Structure 1
């Protein structure tokens, strides 16, 4: 359980958290914490504190590759039989190794939000047991790599529980992560999907990690950003962590359009540029929305680096090798295709013809 640690700062320098132009780092929206987790209050009922311009679309893709990828995507989207066959094949795919023994041990079972959404043994995130509030090394989180197994691109995890909030911040600290992507509201239609693992204002202490909310800004109706100072009270070290919170993605569904999510992704990646630490991505179960976001981002990152061949189903199998059932439904898989097609179209429009 988190305990109040007063209203003071994190005890270190402010770092380089992104702040909307024209706003001081300390400015925040006082009403947002009380509204953003309420499924009955639409984001559009709140005033925006800033109006950020859209991030420019950039890529190393050449025109011929872009048209080839776009043709591939459009063929899949128009050919429903082919899409259905690919999804059936994905559902039949079995990862190897696939043991989840540690997650299901009695002492760890209570740390899982959903008993059927757990990490594999072979690539689970391992906490330092002697630094843990419960003396445990278990966390419902999976390292997700692209090409380099030594450097995970993402950590896919469930929305923290009250009892795992301290574990979450320990993971953030130990993995050196500076960006959190949150894809769920705290509650939706009266159901709890994630514990508020940050203070509404001021600071809170989560075992040995003090979290200070520096700023909270609405970018638009669909998403907002929070900046935190994270302090290890044992060592006195501090870091800046930025949380990007997407509000318009219902549980088990998809966003109303690809545009907002693609713009959100560009802003996340602009903040993350040049970092080598993993991005922490979570929804409620750490599988459906989390898997969909990671798949879109991984495919588009490969394309931005000049990849000539894109196989979304194979890439989905690759991330399912690392966490079970990533991308939970056919509609989410189809949304990935739509998002990639939309971004390629935008890239082609931006290229000199």
Structure 2
């Protein structure tokens, strides 16, 4: 989809490391990760315990309601009634507040850190842009190709070129930059034609993450994450993260990012399994497989190791 030649931008290991990380916590986390990655039995048992975990409450009645079922790409991955994004009915083309999307709160319930959502369907694209507008979002993280092995994973929700109108939201593709063979970056100019207000936003599109698996290496995703966070720095709106189902790849990315962000802030107690349970309380199915959980552990360990090596000894 994009050329194999890499751009002249610095590689992930040349990016500035976060210096606020507590060094003792970093070493502790690294030891925990390496132990779990070496001890396959321990990793399997931890994953089994995570699979047995049940969120409470866990009803998804709204998502299964008449008129909403057709808005779900996958029937098994639905937002909880107590943790779902609600659109403004008066602005919705379908006069409904429903979208298959969940606010993911890290610590402040008034300010979600992420919105985890499915890849838009052709008939939910206007709802998606309404959510982008109403959430104040300026950064979108897309973790799926549009089509994979002949199966549609996500409908194209932006114009190939120029602009497209989705209900009252005019989306203009300003630029598309192929950063490397693993991801590209698009800039959009978004206009609410009703209020005439405008906003610019950036979509980071990761290309090399298969639907049922994991990327071949953690390095491209860590590089991708750093580019996302550099763009997002200083903002307080949620980052919209989506794959196809808004569960496997989305949850894995959110878990990696949330753990590394906590460490960057100097948090001294980091429990990755508890963090996954915390995000699963807010959306079912986040991190779908043991392989994805192992990939998250590997990515965190690799990034922590890089940060520790970059710190003054």
Contact map agreement 1:59 1:303 (CA 8 A) in 2: no
Contact map agreement 1:179 1:272 (CA 8 A) in 2: yes
Once the 2 structures are TM-superposed, how far is the Cα of residue 137 of structure 1 from its aligned partner? 0.6
- Per the alignment, residue 103 of structure 1 pairs with 63
> Alignment length, in residue pairs?
310
TM-score by length of 1: 0.86
The alignment status of 1:61 with 2:21, answered yes or no, reads yes
Contact map agreement 1:59 1:305 (CA 8 A) in 2: no
TM-score by length of 2: 0.97
Which of 194, 200, 223 is 2:160 aligned to? 200
- Per the alignment, residue 268 of structure 1 pairs with 228
1:158-198 CA-to-partner distances (Å, cap 9, x unmatched) read 00000000000000000000000000000001000000000
- Per the alignment, residue 313 of structure 1 pairs with 273
- Per the alignment, residue 88 of structure 2 pairs with 128
Which of 236, 243, 246 is 1:286 aligned to? 246
Which residues of 2 match residues 73-222 of structure 1 at below 5 A?
73-222=33-182
Which of 51, 75, 93 is 2:8 aligned to? 51
Contact map agreement 1:127 1:171 (CA 8 A) in 2: yes
Q: Using the alignment, how far apart are the partners of 1:57 and 1:215 within structure 2? A: 28
Q: Using the alignment, how far apart are the partners of 1:352 and 1:206 within structure 2? A: 51
Which ranges of structure 2 fall in alignment gaps of 5 or more residues? none
Which of 201, 205, 219 is 1:259 aligned to? 219
Q: Using the alignment, how far apart are the partners of 1:59 and 1:187 within structure 2? A: 39
Which residues of 2 match residues 211-250 of structure 1 at below 5 A?
211-250=171-210
Once the 2 structures are TM-superposed, how far is the Cα of residue 98 of structure 1 from its aligned partner? 0.6
State the SS of the aligned residue for 2:8.
coil
Q: Using the alignment, how far apart are the partners of 1:167 and 1:51 within structure 2? A: 37
Which sits farther off after the overlay, 196-205 or 73-82?
A: 73-82
Which ranges of structure 1 fall in alignment gaps of 5 or more residues? 1-34, 36-42
Q: Using the alignment, how far apart are the partners of 2:210 and 2:247 within structure 1? A: 14
Q: What's the Cα RMSD here?
A: 1.0
Once the 2 structures are TM-superposed, how far is the Cα of residue 68 of structure 1 from its aligned partner? 1.5
1:281-323 CA-to-partner distances (Å, cap 9, x unmatched) read 0000000000000000000000001111221111000000000
State the SS of the aligned residue for 1:107.
coil
- Per the alignment, residue 331 of structure 1 pairs with 291
Contact map agreement 2:22 2:263 (CA 8 A) in 1: no
- Per the alignment, residue 20 of structure 1 pairs with none
1:267-294 CA-to-partner distances (Å, cap 9, x unmatched) read 1000000100000000000000000000
State the SS of the aligned residue for 1:119.
coil
Once the 2 structures are TM-superposed, how far is the Cα of residue 51 of structure 1 from its aligned partner? 2.6
Contact map agreement 2:165 2:171 (CA 8 A) in 1: yes
- Per the alignment, residue 301 of structure 1 pairs with 261
1:99-122 CA-to-partner distances (Å, cap 9, x unmatched) read 100000121000000111110011
State the SS of the aligned residue for 2:190.
strand
1:75-132 CA-to-partner distances (Å, cap 9, x unmatched) read 1111111111110011110001111000001210000001111100111000001111
Runs ≥4 in structure 1, deviation > 2 angstroms?
62-65
Contact map agreement 2:153 2:244 (CA 8 A) in 1: yes
